[in-house]
Chain A
Amino acid sequence: MTITESGLIGKSVKRTDGLDKITGCAVFVDDIQFGPNLLHSRLVRSPYPHALIKNIDTKKAEALPGVRAVVTGKDMEARLGLYLIDRPIFASDRARYYGEPVAGVVATSEQIAVEAAALVEVDYEALPAIYDPVEAAQEDAPLLHPDLGDYPVANFIFPQPGTNISEHFKIRKGDAEASLASCAAVAEGRFRLPPIEHVPLETHTSIALSEKTGQITLWATSQSPFAMRDMIAQSLGISHNNLRVIAPLVGGGFGGKAGVTMEACAVVMAQAVEGRPVKLRFTREEEFVGTSVRQSLVSDIKVGCDADGILQAMELTYYFGGGAYNDYGVNIARAAGYSCTGPYDVPNVKADSLCVYTNYPVGSAMRGFGMPEIHWGLEQIMDRLAEEIGMDPVEFRRLNCVRTGDEIVSGMNMTPIDLEACLDKVTKAIHWDKKEAPTAPNKKRGKGIAIMWKAPAMPPNPGSAAVVRFNEDATINVEVGGQELGQGTFTVVAQIAADVLGIPYENATVSYPIDTKYSPYEWQTVASRLTWSMGNAVKAAAEDARFQILETVAAHWDEEIEDLTIKDGLVISFKSEREMPLNKMVIYGLPNENYEGWKGGPVVGRGHFMPTYVTNLDPETGQGTRAVVHYTVGAQAVDLEVDLETGQLEVLNIASVYDVGRAINPDLIMTQIEGGAVHGMSSAFEALKFNEAGEVINPSFVDYRIATIADIPRKIHGDFVETPIDDGPWGARGVGEHVMVQTAPAIANALYDAVGIRFSDLPLSADKIYLALDEKESQ
């Protein structure tokens, strides 16, 4: 057991990257300067949502002075994918979404690249397109991936060749049909939500350089440089040590930069112009049209309870609109499957969670990874069922919410959480029992509640590695492979390392940019997993370094390691009260008596963490011993007003409480809670809009609107509870996604409380709300 003296755990130290960002010297990938050697590129995109590519003529483009290469997907067999390898780098024989890259142009200036892109001539043969996942899942739907059966696939994903279904996850537990038939109250509904975008302030950008020696360097704004390297290396047949990914600070990720989006395009283009770096930078419009989206979802939910309000059964079908390629989407459908009930104890469950190909942009990871999508319907249905059985929505949830040790839908026992405590805090903060008057006579006011759960959705063996390296003056470099997206992970690992080593926090520097050539391995910066997994690895590395130090000093003093500690950069003996400054020995070691030899040497601590206990799930029943590593839970309540004259909705207060296991940096957790609440609120009003030709018609901030500084509730009442898990650093686990999972249904529930109307489809809008109010009044 580590005795930590610094007291940094639980302390809200200032961000380690704050000063860089506030002075404007923080480097993002677009800021890296490459000099006059840099070439510029532009992608040629399909104007059809679904079409065969009959021919691509690049001659005119290639002839333009300044054009160095034009690449296409012709004869390119390379495919990309994490769990299902289904995506070409450039569309080869067919395009499957409006905007899919079919060619790339490399030129000496951005202007020439733009001109040349317009000169690439592509012959298309339009095919019928399909956008709705329920329709696309039917047998007679046009087939987007006739070769689905040939794609390499992870052994826990089950595509259905001959259909558009790329994943079908099943839960068959108990007898839901029979149970529902005998329930005292049943609520049923269909809920829909459209694709939405991550909208980071920093657009996707990458620069690739392919040297004549075969060494490739890829600079990218990436959450997961190692996964990026792995996917592209495998896809293009490059060895891992010949593909180097350098990932500076990320200007917002939210899952959109979790995998490979456009970076493989940059690499392929760089290979065509050996020896010169090629930059591919997405405009804001491309960010809306050509990056991955949160999948659309149609969910059919039926839930029943007994006369006491205790949940008995659920029947669920989730149709995820996976978009043109489902290499991430299949795992979202899977995760939604094994967590399909939401944070409830339900003994009988029949669920089918499908990921379905559609001719929309690629559906992929977005903050929440399937949980916001399913909670939209789940949390509203629970409110309806509570109303059916005559219970207050909070009491209903208190009665039915999952508790530590409960057997949950996938058959595993619930890991340590305290959802009731979250509910208690939230209901107090929002004054749940108090019916509050609206702020003006033309407004109606209401409150709504929603709870959530999420587990990191990962393969069973995602690993983190870390190194803690001392410098001569006893400052340290903390080396990790996880990425700083703004969530504060670099700060947390600096805290952890400094705490374990008994040195001031300011003396711990995290080495970035992350560079696969030098940084230790990190599976991915996703799933809210870094505080837990990378935190464990950094803690282990720091403990390793600590042991090396104490071993050397103990031998030097002829004392026992157990009698020594490190505090404020000094090794101290409890027994003899001797002191040894770290900077004397962390590099140089210590001399033996009379300088008869030396002990120790440069201290480099290493550590890793990988969960070892996750099991597979039965493909027919979805049951298994341990589906996931752990769950994080939380509750949110919303207090809002509706302007009856305009339908405009204003959120007055949000109360938001999550169980984080252990708050390593409480203020950073609060920043996630605040940002997440606003992101969640914004997401209820967001939608990518398409015309019949599958084209995004709102690819700009004018018509894809995100919350502005004028749209927020003035105060988010955020808090956390701490129910430690047994394998997190001091019991900690992540919360970065959870904080926005249930805001949309909390708003919907509050809306019902205010005006008595339920909205089952997103997005919300003043337009929709007003017309619904109007219709209700005329009835």
Chain B
Amino acid sequence: MLARPGLPEFEYIKAQSPQEVFELMKEKGNDLKLLMGGTDLFVQMRDRNGGPAFLLDVKGLPGMQEISFDKKKGLRLGAAVSLNNISKHPDLQKHYPDLCQAADTVGNYQLRNRATLGGNICNASPSADMSPAALVYKGSVILESHRGERELTLEQFWTGPGKTALTEDEYLKTIQFPSPPAGAAGKYRKLGRSKMGDLAIVGVAVLGYPDSEVPAGLRFRIAINSTAPTAYRVPPVEEFLAQNNLTDDIFYQAAEDAMDISAPIEDQRASASYQKKMVRNLVNKTLKEIWETLK
């Protein structure tokens, strides 16, 4: 019925090595869950008055705290990097502004000191702020298991609300992004019920960059959350923009097309009708803003 006071009982284990993780995953199966920042997990465990018997803390494993940027290779972020560490990193602010802006809007400052990018991505909330930002930078995830490493795009990784392609014997180690296109400008715009600190009712990430090979002279990447089972890009809209001379009317039409693609559900946070119109208005506004920057 109601959330319980405090956390349910469980046993905490701090992983000493990836090998130990794989062994424990095999041994404990469903009785074990991986622990990152805990900011989503603990609230869920209180709400459900239950949870796994074992929490395996993987934050200290090799590579989990990595932040490395290389102009050619791009960005590698360890899964356990905190959202505050993302938002204040000078290289990320310069080269991946949408990521920093999105990180900065999640919850509150205290939460962001504990919440991790990897935990956020694995939680796979349809309204996660990091998701649209990660999509416009073409993020991919590197998953570790006893079988080795595999890489999935984020589109492949998120399979539904709260669902990912992570198998029972894998953990997320790294999120990586290619180097962004030259001359790119980006913005994450979020609409919440409060001015700051809320979930996204609608969140839109836009990345624009010069491309002389298309009629528009610019390309846009647009990603949206909260209005579908997972965050999503809108390829038809992006293509439409690329193929046209950019005007206010074109932007508005593109925004309407994005609205038509969106599939929000009615819930206590916002009506479906409002969410759709906000997709349109936020996409429109953000596109024009980036356009102004790049002109």
Contacts and interface: CB of A to CB of B under 8 A. Distances in A.
B2 A286 contact: yes
B49 interface: yes
A210 to B, nearest CB: 23
A507 interface: no
B149 to A, nearest CB: 36
Interface in A653-704: 685, 689, 697-700, 702-703
Given A114-B49, A767-B270, A767-B271, A283 B3 contact: yes
A646 interface: yes
A312 to B, nearest CB: 41
Contacts of B193: 685, 705, 765-766
B281 A645 contact: yes
Interface in A268-285: 281, 283, 285
B2 A283 contact: yes
A124 interface: no
A47 interface: yes
19 contacts: A45-B1, A111-B9, A114-B4, A114-B5, A114-B49, A281-B5, A283-B4, A645-B281, A646-B191, A685-B193, A697-B268, A708-B196, A710-B194, A710-B197, A765-B193, A766-B274, A767-B270, A771-B271, A774-B277
Contacts of B197: 708, 710
A711 to B, nearest CB: 5
Contacts of A289: 2
A263 B271 CA distance: 39
A114 B191 CA distance: 38
Given A45-B2, A47-B1, A283-B3, A705 B198 contact: yes
A767 B2 CA distance: 28
Contacts of B191: 646, 648, 766
A285 B47 CA distance: 9
Contacts of A646: 191, 278, 281
A110 interface: yes
Given A45-B2, A110-B5, A283-B3, A689 B268 contact: yes
B138 interface: no
Contact of B195 (A111, A700, A711): A711
A420 to B, nearest CB: 36
A285 B285 CA distance: 38
Contacts of A28: none
A432 interface: no
| 10 tightest Cβ-Cβ pairs between the two chains A and B | A710-B196, A710-B195, A767-B274, A285-B3, A285-B2, A645-B281, A283-B5, A114-B4, A767-B270, A689-B268
Nearest to A98: B1
B50 to A, nearest CB: 10
Contacts of A110: 5-6
Contact of A703 (B9, B195, B268): B268
Contacts of A645: 281, 285
B93 interface: no
A45 B4 CA distance: 13
A151 interface: no
A175 B198 CA distance: 52
A765 B277 CA distance: 15
Interface string B156-173: 000000000000000000
Interface in A171-221: none
A671 B2 CA distance: 35
Contacts of B195: 650, 708, 710-711
Interface string B241-264: 000000000000000000000000
A770 interface: yes
A110 B194 CA distance: 34
Interface residues of A, number: 36
B199 interface: yes
B16 interface: no
Secondary structure type dominating chain B contacts: loop
Interface string A753-779: 000000000000111001100100000
A492 to B, nearest CB: 34
A770 B277 contact: yes
Nearest to B270: A767
B: interface residue count bin: 20 to 34
Contacts of A699: 2-3
B273 interface: yes
Contacts of A118: 49
B26 interface: no
Interface of B: 1-6, 9, 49, 191, 193-199, 268-271, 273-274, 277-278, 281, 285
Contacts of A650: 195
A699 B1 CA distance: 11
A281 B6 CA distance: 12
A48 to B, nearest CB: 11
A699 B270 CA distance: 17
A711 B194 CA distance: 7
A345 to B, nearest CB: 40
Nearest to B273: A771
Contacts of A771: 271, 273-274, 277
A771 B271 CA distance: 10
A569 B55 CA distance: 65
Contacts of B268: 689, 697-698, 703
Contacts of B194: 705, 708, 710-711
Contacts of B274: 647, 766-767, 770-771
Given A285-B3, A685-B193, A766-B274, 16 more contacts: A42-B5, A110-B5, A110-B6, A111-B9, A114-B5, A283-B2, A283-B3, A283-B5, A645-B285, A697-B268, A698-B268, A703-B268, A708-B197, A710-B195, A767-B271, A771-B274
Contacts of B198: 705
A545 to B, nearest CB: 47
Nearest to B107: A702
Nearest to B202: A646
A131 to B, nearest CB: 16
A711 B271 CA distance: 22
B136 to A, nearest CB: 21
B259 to A, nearest CB: 13
Contacts of A685: 193
A118 B1 CA distance: 10
Nearest to B3: A285
Which of B9, B49, B193, B271 is most buried by chain A, counting CB atoms within 10 A of its CB?
B193
Interface string A19-63: 000000000000000000000001001010000000000000000
A116 to B, nearest CB: 12
Nearest to A701: B197
A704 to B, nearest CB: 10
Interface in A102-135: 110-111, 114, 118
A770 B197 CA distance: 21
A667 B196 CA distance: 30
Contacts of A47: 1
Nearest to A691: B268
A710 B2 CA distance: 29
A285 B5 CA distance: 9
A629 to B, nearest CB: 39
Contacts of B5: 42, 110, 114, 281, 283
A774 B9 CA distance: 51
B267 to A, nearest CB: 9
B10 to A, nearest CB: 12
A770 B280 CA distance: 13
A650 B199 CA distance: 19
A662 to B, nearest CB: 38
A656 B89 CA distance: 44
Contacts of A689: 268
Contacts of A700: 3
B272 to A, nearest CB: 10
Nearest to B193: A705
Contacts of A281: 5
Contacts of A766: 191, 193, 274
A180 to B, nearest CB: 38
A645 B271 CA distance: 16
Contacts of A45: 1-2
